[in-house]
Amino acid sequence: MKKFITPVIQDERLFFQYKNNYIKLTFPAKGEVRVRKVSTRSRARPTGEYPSWKMLRMIEWESHNELNAFVLLDANPEIKTFSEQPVEIEYCIEGVVARHYPDVLVAKNGELQFWEIKSERGANKEDVQIRTDFLERYLPNLGYSYHMVTGVKLLNKLQLLNARTILRFGRMPIDSVSREIIRIYFLTNSSICWLDEIYTNPDIDIRCVLSRLTLEGDLVFDNSMRISKDSVFRRKVSLTKEMK
């Protein structure tokens, strides 16, 4: 397993050079969460803010593809953190210097990933492909991977619908009693359904409990089907338990 690399200290720069090529990373100034602001009213194209339960703040987006990405990242328990406009990349390819601002920094399974989110058309432009190939090859020398993520990959309507459902019901914390009832239930049961009536307290909505535990990574469900009253949730089996 890869060792998790923590982001560099704010205001610090990372630099890598190979022959006539180099990469320099500049992170947000102290007290800032992004290197440049995204959401402004003067922009011609749609921009906005997404309320992330995971990051406990508003995440700025500048395209619907980015918004879809934030929803999916927020609902995925394998994603530890994510942030928008996280770095300025100054890079030089054979003497030609340019600057690039990846859309997202994602921490997943111990790996730090820079994501650039574009339409298929935008991703296939020659200059973008040259930049993508260059950063995919050399950024790992600084402890980061680089990923071109297209809108098509983010436009799975079923997964987006399920993610929004889980986020809608699971944003609020659940109390220890609700957790304990679920724990005891799974001692004698292998699964539980979306609308099972296991709580005698009418103030406890089982959908909120199941959604929160799914967001936290304790429960899993079949994401290839739309969440409904018959959707089945199971305890997530850790790799350690599977090997025993």
User: Mind listing the pLDDT tens digit for each residue in 101-141?
Assistant: 999 999 999 999 999 999 999 999 999 999 999 999 999 99
What is the C-alpha to C-alpha distance for residues 121 and 244, in angstroms, rounded to an integer? Answer: 48
Beta-carbon contacts of residue 16 (< 8 Å; ≥ 6 apart): 22, 23, 24, 138, 141, 142
Closest to 123 in 3D by CA, of 137, 142, 143, 115 = 115
Evaluate whether residue 5 is within a structural domain: no
- Judge if 54 and 115 occupy the same domain: yes
Is it the case that residue 190 has pLDDT exceeding 90? Answer: yes
Evaluate whether residue 131 is within a structural domain: yes
Mean per-residue pLDDT, 185-204: 96
- Judge if 25 and 135 occupy the same domain: yes
Mean per-residue pLDDT of the chain: 91
Q: How many domains does the chain have?
A: 2
Q: What pLDDT does residue 40 have?
A: 58
> Could you tell me if 145 and 113 are in contact, meaning their C-beta atoms sit under 8 angstroms apart?
yes
Closest to 95 in 3D by CA, of 25, 14, 17 = 17
Of 154, 180, 214, the residue at which a domain comes to its end is 154
Q: What pLDDT does residue 180 have?
A: 97
Beta-carbon contacts of residue 242 (< 8 Å; ≥ 6 apart): none
Diameter over CA atoms, the chain: 70
- Judge if 136 and 161 occupy the same domain: no
pLDDT digits (tens, 9 = 90+) for 23-70: 999 999 999 999 988 755 555 678 999 999 999 999 999 999 999 999
- Judge if 166 and 146 occupy the same domain: no
| Enclosing domain of residue 176 | 157-243
Is it the case that residue 3 has pLDDT exceeding 80? Answer: no
Rounded CA Rg of the chain: 21
Looking at 3-17, 190-204, 227-241, which range is the least confident one? Answer: 3-17
Task: Report the amino acid identity of residue 153.
Answer: K
Taking the complete model, does pTM exceed 0.85, yes or no? yes
Determine what percent of the chain is predicted with pLDDT higher than 70: 90
Is it the case that residue 239 has pLDDT exceeding 60? Answer: no
* 238 — pLDDT class (breaks 50, 70, 90): low
Q: What pLDDT does residue 46 have?
A: 83
Mean per-residue pLDDT, 186-213: 96
- Judge if 20 and 56 occupy the same domain: yes
| Torsion angle (degrees, nearest 10) of CA 63, 55, 206, 161 | 10
β-bridge partners, 211: none
Determine what percent of the chain is predicted with pLDDT higher than 90: 86
- Judge if 99 and 26 occupy the same domain: yes
Q: Please, what's the b/e burial string for 167-182 (b: 16 or more CB within 10 A of its CB; e: otherwise)?
A: bebbbeebeeebeebb
Q: How far is CA 25 from CA 41, 77, 86, 138, in A?
A: 29, 28, 10, 12
